[in-house]
Structure 1
Amino acid sequence: MATTAARRVLLPVVGQEPPERADAARNRRALLAAAHGIMVESGIDGLTMDRVAAAAGVGVGTVYRRFGDLGGLAFALLDDEEREFQSAYLSGPPPLGPGAPAAERIRAFLHATVDRMETAGELHSLAESRSRIARYTSGAYRTSRTHLLTLLREVQQHDPAYCADALLAVAGTNLILHQRRELGFSQARIKAGLDCVLSALLSRGACPGAGLPG
């Protein structure tokens, strides 16, 4: 059986790419440092490919070749944050990490997701704006979905595949940002709402449509 450490090495993260040459890795770090500096100075609205190129002293074509577009740059900027989150829920202390009952770990995962939106919500939203399916095809989403799928199977949820996506939907970046900024919900209110959704989902057990084809 593979060890937890071995599995972690293979986990996809937000902007992960194939192994790079040393010079390519240095250039990537320089571009990301320039982008980070712009966000500190001007916020997320000030982040443009042109500004990153100017700050890094390269042509804008270099930035586009490296990241594709602004959404790709945002995914890359989220790498470290996503790695830390994955490490926390895969091997950190309970209840987010191993050692707590599955239901408690799911709840902790949802709450931690709400917390993340306070510090990196705009960057997550920018990354997910790359295309209508950008969120669902990212390594971060796939890894989070697999994590929830595993925990839902532990609590014997009869349609864990659907429920994993459903939980990630109600804890989605743009929904949480809308609730916080447009509706004025507090973090505590959002977390309490997620608790209600999770409690209802787990208390029902088998769903009427579980096992249907498609």
Structure 2
Amino acid sequence: MAERAPRKDAVRNRAAVLAAADTLFARHGSPGDLTMGDIAEAAGVGKGTLFRAFGDRAGLLRELYAARLQPLWEAVESGPSPLGPGTPPRERVPALLDALLCFKLDNRSLALALEEGGSGSSPYRADHYERWREVLSAALAEIPGLAESDFTAHVLLAAVRADLVEHLAGSEGVPRESLRARLAGFTAQLIGSGRPPGVPADG
């Protein structure tokens, strides 16, 4: 039997919830304080609608985050850009990290809410984290002389964790372009010579 298409009102409600959640997380200073009730009220639907559509708050966060991230993933997976698979790895890796940093900066509240327990499990088990790790690890593996590509991918992703981005950009007030430059410098140091910074050539 063919799967029945969602009712039009269910589709409208889902879109309204995502739009309301998007706005609230963008404006709210403490994303952890936002409840399903707050989002339901802003969307003009009942809380039951949210739970039926998304399961729980973690499910809503994951879906909203995935929707925002989708255009970036399209560029990463197939786009003719510095992010795409045809780019030399020493250029692609810094471009991927810069794009992810900019995404976290543009979506600070949502990223923080998702990574601070909002995913319902360890952030390292989240689908979006695993996808980034796989892409980075594959690109790093193409760099001659660079060992431990998988571990290096984890290290580089740690530099763009939402809590660190929030601390640097929010608490310390580090300007966006300064953060990007620092990340680029760290990445170049890590992958430019094919060995970790501080390790001599014969080490």
- TM-score by length of structure 2 reads 0.78
The answer to whether the Cα contact below 8 Å between 1:91 and 1:97 also exists between their aligned partners in 2 is yes
CA displacement at 1:115 relative to structure 2: 1.4
Alignment partner, residue 160 of structure 1: 149
CA displacement at 1:74 relative to structure 2: 2.0
The answer to whether the Cα contact below 8 Å between 1:114 and 1:191 also exists between their aligned partners in 2 is yes
* 1:177 matched to 2:139: no
Decide whether aligned partners of structure 1 residues 66 and 20 sit closer, same or farther in structure 2, where only a CA change above 3 A counts. Answer: farther
CA displacement at 1:28 relative to structure 2: 2.7
Could you tell me how far apart the structure 2 residues matched to 1:193 and 1:20 are? 51
Alignment partner, residue 137 of structure 1: 125
Could you tell me how far apart the structure 2 residues matched to 1:93 and 1:167 are? 23
* 1:60 matched to 2:47: yes
Decide whether aligned partners of structure 1 residues 56 and 122 sit closer, same or farther in structure 2, where only a CA change above 3 A counts. Answer: closer
| Count of aligned pairs between the two proteins | 189
Could you tell me how far apart the structure 1 residues matched to 2:4 and 2:69 are? 20
**Which ranges of structure 1 fall in alignment gaps of 5 or more residues?**
1-18, 209-214
Could you tell me how far apart the structure 2 residues matched to 1:20 and 1:140 are? 29
CA displacement at 1:158 relative to structure 2: 1.1
Percent identical residues? 33
Alignment partner, residue 199 of structure 1: 188
Could you tell me how far apart the structure 2 residues matched to 1:196 and 1:33 are? 37
Match of 1:92 among 69, 72, 79: 79
Deviation per CA, 1:166-187: give whole Å up to 9, x if none: 1000121211121111122122
The answer to whether the Cα contact below 8 Å between 1:73 and 1:127 also exists between their aligned partners in 2 is no
Match of 2:138 among 120, 137, 150: 150
Q: Which moved more, 1:183-192 or 1:196-205?
A: 196-205
The answer to whether the Cα contact below 8 Å between 1:44 and 1:123 also exists between their aligned partners in 2 is no
The CA RMSD measured in Å over matched residues stands at: 2.8
Letter of the 2:170 counterpart: R
Letter of the 1:34 counterpart: A
Could you tell me how far apart the structure 2 residues matched to 1:185 and 1:150 are? 31
* 1:34 matched to 2:23: no
The answer to whether the Cα contact below 8 Å between 1:53 and 1:60 also exists between their aligned partners in 2 is yes
The answer to whether the Cα contact below 8 Å between 1:49 and 1:60 also exists between their aligned partners in 2 is yes
Alignment partner, residue 4 of structure 1: none
Decide whether aligned partners of structure 1 residues 59 and 159 sit closer, same or farther in structure 2, where only a CA change above 3 A counts. Answer: same
**Which ranges of structure 2 fall in alignment gaps of 5 or more residues?**
none
Could you tell me how far apart the structure 2 residues matched to 1:25 and 1:44 are? 29
Could you tell me how far apart the structure 1 residues matched to 2:111 and 2:104 are? 8
Alignment partner, residue 89 of structure 2: 102
